[in-house]
Structure 1
Amino acid sequence: MKNTYFFLLVIIVQFTNAQDYYFPERNESWQPISPVEASIDSNKLDAVIAFAKANEYSGSRDLRIAILEGFKSEPFHEIQGPTKKRGGPAGMILKNGKLVTQWGDTKRVDMTFSVTKSFLSTVAGLAVDQGLIANVDDKVQSYVWDDTFAGRHNSQITWSQLLQQNSAWQGTLFGGQDWADRPPREGGIDDWKYAKPATPGTVMEYNDVRVNVLAYSLLQVWRQPLPQVLKEHVMDRIGASTTWRWYGYKDAWVDVDGLQMKSVTGGGHSGAGMFINTEDMARFGMLFLKNGKWNDQQLISSEWIDAAITPSQPNVNYGFMWWLNQKGPRHWNGVGEDVFYAAGFGGNFIVVDRKNDLVVVTRWLEPSKIGVFMKNLIDAF
């Protein structure tokens, strides 16, 4: 009898815990939770939101101007894809999938820049889950039909190295040259252009051309536009709105099976990338909070998510296009080391804190302030 009672108690507890999480249907308002129910000090929470509003990204709200100013040190840099004037600070804080608070216009669609990389990484994860990519340590040359990965250097590059941004791929894609993207602060063009490349897998270099090579390679694997893949396998299934868009550069058309398809970008470095609202970003964060599961459906394997948030060898703060709050150069003091996040130019963040069952989305927060913002939020519990 005692064992039966214990068994029933376990079932009741598990059922109750499952019900604690809220997964809104498409076009459904987020279920609110009060600060008291969320165990948050309401005065401290108000101060956190005031901090976000008071520390708006200092760049121009005309993102075309902000992009050109932000990357003016790059030779030959130009806008090649769509841009959009942005809104003001906005954000959401979810506890167990329930809305603790929000600020700004959460339905406004804005550029997200390198937050796009975490969506791109997820498309790679779906390819692994479905067996289109057998192993992330496979050489990409085996999957891409043309000479993108030809030569002694590029032929050694693996999927994991592209995902961790340590591939050191060399070449030109859609007019973008790898050596001209985020060049070193010292030396001239010849020094950058003819420098000996790092051995693949040994040095992380944040480089959008190489990220776009990953997107191009995944297009070859899926043989359908990546926004369509993401929509079908993730965004529709988590109830995202119909307003998000994923763009590529104006000349990034590729012939696949006789059809013209746009190869999308992994950011907005030269325009393009993911245009999305705050609420859809929060849904995406919830999927990762729950280890790839939305309600009772496993959309992304937990094995992939574990791999995506495993530190890379060259950079302890970076996994498969997710930033990790490990002890390292980008560590946020006072915030758990198991926290991981997507980050984009201009202060766009999706932060996942499993320990506290939190998903936090902030938009247009001065990027240098995100660590303080998160510490203050955690202190509010």
Structure 2
Amino acid sequence: MSLVSVDQQRLERVVREFGARWTSAAADIETYLAGQVADTSHREVVGPLVAASGASGVVRVGGGEVAVWGDPDVPEMAFSVTKTVVSVVAGLAFDDGLLVPDQPVHQVVDAPEFHGPHNERITWRHLLQQSSQWEGELWGKPTSVDAQSFRERTEVHGTPPGEGWAYNDVRMNLLAYALTLLFGRSLPDVLRERVMDPLGASDRWSWHGYRTSVIDLDRRRVEVVSGGAHWGGGLVVPARDLALIGQLFLDRGIHAGARLLSAEWVDQSWAPCPVKPEYGYLWWLNDEQVPWPGAPTTGRSARGNGGRHLLWVDPARDLVLASHWTEEPLDLIRDVSQTVTSATG
């Protein structure tokens, strides 16, 4: 049995300190977002924006909330933390038998984006691990203009699916599109019904796409949400609600005695990608202290905008940490982790 204790006084000092460190430039969110896109021809914002209101966060230990900073009930843009929430919805499809990780997507989703010799080899696992190497254009955004994959120099052209890795929002949007077609309904509706409402989350979160990402499904106009916020949109969520998602993974898919997500999906989500061992199904794995050097190797994380938006889950400490707009996230992880000790008894 894992016994966990918290140095509450020290933890309160930590959250006070980090509550004062926030990305104030994001109060002008449109200017801030423009600086995240390297290609000036694709800086146009096509999804909704929410200006930053300050740092906020939640710490949960042992299944309960033990500390907060800022206002954890204020919805904030989550940036690439959204990617991990896409993985949560994919897990629901897996549990329903709709998604088989190694099945080519084109076999169950009829969309021209999955036609052709290369694209017909793309599986759900490739999309979930960001190793599809798909090239094309979706919602007016070509893969070639996504700043992140080129800035980090991970983009490799011409390799088969599964043999390269790149952090690319356009490909994330492709996964969200494929899942929308697979479910035949909007992903926020699925997430709300199957996860957020059962968790007792607030009604203040929302999930957005672009003004161009609307499709016809059974004579209904349905918005396809984005998997990030490089051009606006994505998940807008209070830190307190985000922490509940982390708690669900920490508890291996069970909440209040009810299974919302299979333990098998949690395990698969936290299994390393063959070509990017620190990455799972849209989760970062810190086993080799990448991307969080000096932080516990038992941590798994969703991170957005360089970690200014963060969901950190550490089963060894029974710890969940969710934060928005908090600067120096590595120090935050380290300092919070040091306030929690565990022993095996």
SS in 2 for 1:270: coil
Counterparts of 1:236 and 1:186 in 2: how far apart (Å)?
37
Q: Which residue is equivalent to 1:142?
A: 107
Structure number with the higher strand fraction is 2
1:60 is paired with a residue of what secondary structure?
helix
Q: Which amino acid aligns with 1:260?
A: R
Match among 158, 164, 168 for residue 197 of structure 1: 158
Q: 1:115 touches 1:344 (CA, 8 Å); kept in 2?
A: yes
Give the AA of the match of 1:124.
A
> Residue 306 of structure 1 aligns with which residue?
267
Structure 2 residue 136 is matched with structure 1 residue 155: no
Counterpart position of 1:82 = 48
Alignment of 1:29-68 (within 5 A): 39-57=5-23, 59-68=25-34
Post-superposition CA distance 1:144-170 (Å, at most 9, x none): 212111111111111001001111111
Contact 1:311 1:324 in 2 (8 A): yes
8 Å CA contact 1:51–1:373 kept in 2: the answer is no
Per-residue CA shift, 1:288-321, capped at 9, x if unaligned?
1100100100100000110001110111111101
Structure 1 residue aligned with 2:97: 131
Cα distance in structure 2, aligned partners of 1:288 and 1:72: 34
Report the alpha carbon displacement of residue 341 of structure 1 after superposing the two structures with TM: 1.1
Give the distance between the partners of 1:236 and 1:185, measured in 2 at CA.
38
Give the drift of 1:210: 0.4
RMSD: 2.1
Q: Which amino acid aligns with 1:156?
A: R
TM-score with structure 1 length normalisation? 0.84
Deviation of residue 281 (structure 1)?
0.8
Instruction: Measure the CA separation in 2 of the matches of 1:116 and 1:124.
Output: 13
Gaps of 5+ in 1: 1-12, 21-37
SS in 1 for 2:10: helix
Contact kept, 8 Å, 1:323 with 1:342, in 2: the verdict is yes
Q: Deviations over 1:227-270 (max 9, x none)?
A: 11111111111111111111110011111112111111011110
Aligned residue for 2:34, secondary structure, equals helix
Aligned equivalent of 1:251: 212
Q: Secondary structure at the match of 1:343?
A: strand
Query: Structure 2 matches for 1:267-286, cutoff 5 A?
Result: 267-286=228-247
Structure 2 counterpart SS, 1:237: helix
Q: Which residue in the other structure is 2:184 paired with?
A: 223
Unaligned segments of structure 2, at least 5 residues: 341-345
Higher alpha-carbon Rg: 1
Aligned to 1:378: 337
Query: Number of matched residues?
Result: 337
- Partner SS state of residue 235, structure 2: strand
Percent of pairs with identical residues: 35
**Separation of aligned partners in 1, 2:157 and 2:142:** 15
Give the deviation of 1:104 after TM superposition: 0.4
